[in-house]
A and B are shown apart, each in its own frame.
Chain A
């Protein structure tokens, strides 16, 4: 018999509607799986009691005929979302003990629709990282392990990607039906690719940022991490929507995204940006990309070569803009209002000691970079220059979308790597986001779809980037790509056996 925790969200929804099982039963199975999966370190806090209460309410909603597509579905929430009276620390020590007295809009939307909260997931501290190794709560282990050349499974640990590493691990290991993530430069898409999942970052402004712990405000967006494109469509619809409390959230009707999954992309124009063929791209990534192009062509799409000339400048631009905004956003952590306080010999001394002890090394590095590029005498040379190049990058995309409907690229330049492999080299780590950052800088929707396995049997993803606020066309293409790829591989369970 299929385990309930193996079901997609859509299948669980149908089973709940038919009365095959209840949300309480489904939730209990996930809570058991979470307990068995603790060594993966994907959850910082488990909220089992709350989950069971919410599941019982969801069952009521279903019985009363008031169910939505999310009702009764157990989901994990990234620790970056404020959840009322529950640990919300963005995996940072500086927010030690913080329990907000309010609920983020995105999670409130999910609970309104009857979703069930399983707990808060681990992540890179303040979402700054691409491997989930910068968390104050320790690294997350990827449920996937490579297969060595002799065919034996490796026993070393791999990173799940980041920053939404706990969220993807929870879903990939069957500890949650789906999870919320946030994406600033690739933090939903790259970890989804590393764990064989679907990760969707919507257009900037689709989701309210109210109650999300800020990293870089002009880039941060919430989005779903799911097993399938259909699940992503369902969860996106629940999370999205205008919110007067976030002046950058956009007042546009949220479409029924599931209806966009028609399976028909005949005549759709798919752009292939030549600048994404970067130096030293592994052959298997190149091959997967070509395979994706062939699949889309076979489905009746028209393939068009395009140019996004400023692509190579996206990553260095990002590493000015994001740290600059972070240095400003993170100025609020001063030992006065919430979280950690470390005493000092003066008010300034208290600030400095608190921030020295509360922030991890990568976060400090980015605050220092951000402070430097914003400081007197350097603002024009760095920050203003970067914002101008950001205009050029966005312009490249606008021009491309005069010719094409969506753009197809690889999601990441490699499969998941071993833990510790890149933690000493920030730039090598930053390069993980080379294909995801441009769409972030331009505010465009993008999705990663599991598309194949590397030579050592680790998941690889392809990315589709859509026009602003046209998640529907992008999802339609993603759905077709998903079906062509027929990605059914699952990680062998090695955890929880002791």
Chain B
């Protein structure tokens, strides 16, 4: 399996990273180098092997479903690049038309 510039553009879009037209081919080359090296995994027989879900044998801990912490609004907003009236602010996402 190898990636072309169209695939790189699609992955970059999924990952929300702006990639210039001139960067697509070099990136495709770099990713293909890595992917073709990874390809050797296909020679391993993994029939009847369960995928690893936890690296140590432990059960996930349970706790009572209670609110035990919180109330940090100002702490949470303290590092925001933009905040107003106790909220994060982001660029407008609702179209102006029809208002």
A: residues with CB less than 8 A from B are 97-102, 203-205, 218-219, 244, 247-248, 250-251, 310, 312-313, 316-317, 319-320, 327, 331, 334-341, 343-344, 346-353, 355-356, 359, 364-365, 367-369, 371-372, 375, 378, 381-382, 384-392, 394, 426-427, 441-443, 468-469
Contacts and interface: CB of A to CB of B under 8 A. Distances in A.
A387 B51 CA distance: 5
Contacts of A382: 38
A496 B75 CA distance: 40
Given A313-B41, A388-B51, 9 more contacts: A204-B56, A219-B55, A251-B61, A312-B40, A337-B76, A364-B17, A372-B3, A391-B49, A391-B50
B58 interface: yes
B31 A369 contact: yes
Contacts, number: 159
Given A387-B52, A427-B37, A352 B81 contact: no
A115 B44 CA distance: 48
A384 B79 contact: no
Contacts of B80: 336-338
Given A247-B60, A426-B33, A391 B93 contact: no
8 contacts: A101-B72, A204-B55, A248-B56, A347-B90, A365-B31, A368-B27, A426-B34, A442-B55
B99 interface: no
Interface of B: 1, 3, 7-8, 11-12, 14-19, 27, 30-31, 33-35, 37-38, 40-42, 44, 46, 49-53, 55-56, 58, 60-61, 63, 72, 75-76, 78-82, 88, 90-93
Contact of A388 (B50, B55, B91): B50
A219 B55 CA distance: 8
Given A336-B88, A388-B49, A348 B31 contact: no
Nearest to A246: B61
A394 to B, nearest CB: 7
B75 A101 contact: yes
A391 B55 CA distance: 9
B17 A386 contact: no
B51 A339 contact: no
Given A353-B18, A375-B14, A392-B49, A427 B91 contact: no
Contact of A367 (B7, B17, B55, B88): B17
A389 B79 contact: no
A351 to B, nearest CB: 4
Contacts of A338: 79-81
A319 B88 contact: no
Contact of B16 (A218, A348, A372, A378): A348
Nearest to A383: B51
Contacts of B63: 244
Contact of B91 (A102, A312, A344, A369): A344
A267 B16 CA distance: 56
Nearest to B46: A388
Contact of B55 (A218, A336, A392, A427): A218
B30 A98 contact: no
A308 to B, nearest CB: 14
Given A385-B41, A394-B52, A346 B91 contact: yes
B11 A347 contact: no
B91 A368 contact: no
B33 A203 contact: no
A307 to B, nearest CB: 15
Contacts of B1: 378, 381
A327 B12 CA distance: 11
Contacts of B8: 368
Contact of A372 (B11, B33, B56, B72): B11
Nearest to A319: B38
B1 to A, nearest CB: 7
Contact of B79 (A99, A348, A368): A99
* 9 shortest interchain CB distances as A-B pairs: A443-B55, A387-B51, A341-B81, A338-B79, A356-B18, A101-B75, A352-B18, A388-B46, A390-B52
B38 to A, nearest CB: 4
Q: Chain A CB within 10 Å — which of B15, B46, B50, B75 has the most?
A: B15
Given A316-B37, A350-B91, A389-B41, A250 B58 contact: yes
Contacts of A348: 16
B17 A352 contact: yes
B79 A337 contact: yes
Given A316-B40, A335-B81, A390-B52, A375 B11 contact: yes
Contacts of A247: 60-61
Contacts of A385: 41-42, 44, 46
Contacts of A371: 11, 14-15
Nearest to B3: A372
B15 A367 contact: yes
B48 to A, nearest CB: 9
A331 B56 CA distance: 26
Given A369-B34, A442-B55, A443-B56, A347 B49 contact: no
Contacts of B91: 343-344, 346-347, 349-350
Contacts of B27: 365, 368
Nearest to B78: A101
Contacts of A427: 33-34, 37
A350 B91 CA distance: 8
A336 B56 contact: no
A211 B77 CA distance: 17
